[in-house]
Amino acid sequence: MMLNMQLMLPAATKTIETASRLTPLHDHQLLVFWVQLLVITAIARFLGYVVFRVKLPTVIGHLLAGVVLGPSVFGKIWPDGFNWFIPEEAISSGALFAVTWVGVALLLVTAGFETDLNLIRRLGRAALLVTGFSLIVPLIGGLLTALALPDVFVASGANHNVFAMFIAAALSVSALAVIARILSELGLMRRDFGQITMAAGMANDVIGWMMLSVFAGFAVGGVSFSSVTKTIIGLSLFLVLAMTIGQRIVDYCLCQVLRIGVGIPTAVSIAIFTMLTFGVITQSLGIEAVLGAFVAGVVLNRSRFQQQEVLHHIESLTNSFLAPVFFAIAGMRVDLALLAEREALVGAVVIVVVALVTKFVGSFVGAKLARLSNRVAAALGAGLNARGALEIVIASVGLSTGVFSDTAYTVIVIMPLITSLFAAVTLQVIVRDWRGTADELERLEREEELVRNLVVRSDRLMLVSRANPASIAASQIVHFAWPDEVPVTVVSVNTESKDDATSSALDITVLRNVFDEREVDHNILRSDNVAHAIAEESQLGYGMICLGVSGEERESRLYSPMVDELLLQAELPVLIVRKARGLKTPLPSAFVRMVVPVTGTRSSRAAQEIALGISSELGTEVVLTHVVAVHGLQLENPLRRLGKQVSKQVSQVKNSEVTDRHGVEFNEATTRIVKSLIGTASDFFAQKGVTPVVHLRKSTSPALALVEAITEVEADLVVLGASLRQVNRRPFLGQTVETILEHCDANIVVVAMPYEGHSE
């Protein structure tokens, strides 16, 4: 027994020693910490709102809040209160800075989410030239300026050449976090120059951290070039692995989140874990963890399984709390009292002016060499002048290694505050009333439209296919209706036990030819229940299920047993393309005329989005049709002409009388509703340069009236919207849709929108 106690004592002692290392904040320190967060958040948010009211980015208010709460204002007005608020204990400062680093890391994750690598790749030459000149020119200017600065800026005993290197590094780099914040608040992140600015800012940060590690090595007694090479190789290897293996791991994890259905909190946890992992790697390479956080955001955004709500959750916490705290604490480190001496003030002015001018000139020259316009070049020069965390770190390292004096430290900390203010103000002036080039404007409008749309969005599409003629027809509609940048996954379900049983049917070469240069991949599922397998797969990051069916006669089912079962299980919109009856080949390469019924519902709007894409791509004439249901109208034959066709342009419809074929006017309320429906739909098409033809009808049988209208205008395509419901354990798309499917021989596209109810 005694022996066992003796064996246990060392382990117990070790546990106690380990626990003692986790030194907690005592009650007073905790009180100070919570007061710090409360006051900093309140003042930063208040001043952020104030500057927002004068149309400046809120980040300026956050930085100014730090100056107000720092030694320059608060410390002078109430020294005792300031000493209580900012105590000298290292543990108190450490707790506060831990919060700020988490904040800047999350801020960089959101910036990564909004970084488009494909767009940067397309703008590669411009991004490379702007990055190079925006670094080289300020670096040279910083070296020359530092060599001419008085000794008051240089710490006693410091090497002046090493001091010059630190100054040059501080002047040459930009702050990715501040750039991202300014661009985001001004709504410029998706602009071409905004993406170039982000790319150059990222490169600035990477090179800045590497310069800092080299120069810090010189400051403490030399640096090993092998260690610098190791850092560069390590960073390059990290970027490659992050975009390959790291991307696959993130994709797998996010895919499992969707497959299992564990919800957004788990997806957010994966985003945070990815940020921390990448941050640890970059920090271990001697580069700041925030760069890893930015790369994590890029990788997360590239995943096809990412859910947009994840970004919204991270942004909400970051923008409302963590980012204001980070920028405010950066401003709190400014002590304007150190600039009281004339020599120090003149030197500070010189450093700030050189920083502003050289960064602007370098960016401008790089942009002009890339053949960008003067306005774009000026915007890049303004945006890249934003500086922040890295300059503060350079100042801190310079001070701790005995290179900077207190005066130099204060100037380097003040410099990013002034240059960031300059960046925000000048950028806002430059971009005022500037919409960009025609190509850029078209891209931005298309992106905004995809965000607003119900079904024609940027989400990946699932095309259910076995490469038969019906699938080819569906692929044609998808290719016509969706922009080229929207990717497609062709999903085939193999119900055979042997692979060779369906090898020929799973060849999708013909589909790849239809989609031309669109990104297409092929996923083969193995299941005996085809509908269930497709419905389950559809939850993995897709925006819509698309499939083709034949025009053969049906019995009691809507389309086929499999399609009907899929409609019952699907939680996404389903696009069903039915070829014209008797058509043995895929759809024609173009359509002459298509009919689009207008009802004012979400499903009707979804159908209009499909029709607009087809018309914009092929020039197909659009016939908007609306039938007003009436009672007691005597008709000879419901399948004969049911009303006088009213074909007018949008402006004519809005100002005309709405009548039936007998010349009887609709009542005022009906007229107002009809004109509103048609006017809204017509405007939707007109915004894209498509002028639709309008047909108004009145009938006791709207479904048969639409069949008559389709035949009358000789339409070769009909695009219908429907709200999917379940009646007697079968899918029901509405009487109108089912009647048209039964009586109409034309090519028919049905957009079935999910319906929450399960019975009628």
User: Can you say how many angstroms the Cα of residue 273 is from the centroid of all Cα atoms in its chain?
Assistant: 19
- Which pLDDT value is given to residue 296? 93
Q: What Rg do the C-alpha atoms of the chain give, in angstroms?
A: 33
Residue holding tokens 């390059």?
236
The one-letter code for the residue type at 126 is: A
Question: Dihedral (C-alpha) 484, 538, 719, 512: value to the nearest 10 degrees?
Answer: 40
Q: What is the pLDDT of residue 652?
A: 43
pLDDT number for residue 253: 92
> In the 8-state DSSP scheme, what is residue 556?
S
How would DSSP label each residue in 331-382? HHT--GGGG-SHHHHHHHHHHHHHHHHHHHHHHHHHHHHTT--HHHHHHHHH
Q: Do residues 170 and 395 touch, judged by C-beta distance below 8 A?
A: yes
- In order, the DSSP letters of 580-609 are PTT--SS--SS-SEEEEE--SSHHHHHHHH
Per cent of the chain over pLDDT 70 is 84
Beta bridge partners of 722: 752
Who has greater pLDDT, 559 or 387? Answer: 387
Q: How confident is the model at residue 81 (pLDDT cuts 50, 70, 90)?
A: very high
Let me know: does 87 contact 354? Beta carbons within 8 Å.
no
Question: Is the pLDDT confidence value at 195 over 90?
Answer: no
Look at 213-217, 380-384, 686-690 and tell me which has the smallest mean pLDDT. 213-217
Is residue 508 classed exposed, middle or buried when 0-12, 13-18 and 19+ CB atoms within 10 A define those classes? Answer: buried
Please name which of 410, 402, 486 lies closest in space to residue 446, comparing C-alpha atoms.
486
Gap between the Cα atoms of 706 and 708, Å rounded: 5
Q: Do residues 722 and 734 make contact, with C-beta atoms less than 8 angstroms apart?
A: yes
pLDDT over 90 (residue 479): yes
Nearest Cα neighbor of 587 from 544, 548, 545 is: 548
Q: Which 3 state secondary structure label does DSSP give 547?
A: strand
Query: What would the mean pLDDT of 74-97 be, rounded to a whole number?
Result: 86
> Which residue is it, tokens 């390479």?
285
Calculate the CA 247 to chain-centre distance.
17
Residues 26-34, mean pLDDT to the nearest whole number: 88
Ranked by mean pLDDT, the top range of 32-46, 503-517, 649-663 is: 32-46
How far apart are the C-alpha atoms of 440 and 164, rounded to whole Å?
Answer: 41
User: Whats the size of the chain, residue-wise?
Assistant: 760
The residue with greater pLDDT, 223 or 193, is 193
User: Cα–Cα distance between 37 and 585 in angstroms, integer?
Assistant: 69
Query: Is 319:180 a contact under the CB 8 Å cutoff?
Result: no
Six-digit token pair at 82? 């300031």
pTM: 0.68
Residue 503 clears pLDDT 80, i.e. is over it: no
Res 136: pLDDT? 93
Q: Is the predicted pLDDT of residue 141 greater than 80, yes or no? A: yes
Neighbours of 241 (CB within 10 A): 12
Closest by CA to 85, choosing from 101, 98, 102, 73, is 73
Beta bridge partners of 324: none
Strands 621-629 and 730-732: unpaired
Paired strand residues for 751: 575, 721
The b/e string for 46-84 (b: 16+ C-beta within 10 A; e otherwise) is: ebbeebeeeebbbbbbbbbbbbbbbbbbbbeeeeeebee
Highest mean pLDDT among 38-42, 163-167, 495-499, 565-569: 38-42
Per-residue model confidence (pLDDT) at position 661: 43
Please report where in the chains the tokens 């670096």 appear, as a residue: 139
For residues 731 and 567, the answer to whether their CB atoms sit within 8 Å is: yes
Cross-strand pairs, 665: 659
**Alpha carbon distance 428, 294 (integer Å):** 25
Tens of pLDDT along 615-626? Answer: 999 999 999 998
Phi, psi (rounded to 5 degrees) for 727: -130, 120
What are the backbone angles phi and psi of residue 477, rounded to the nearest 5°?
-60, -45
Residue pair 162/231 in contact by the 8 Å Cβ criterion = no
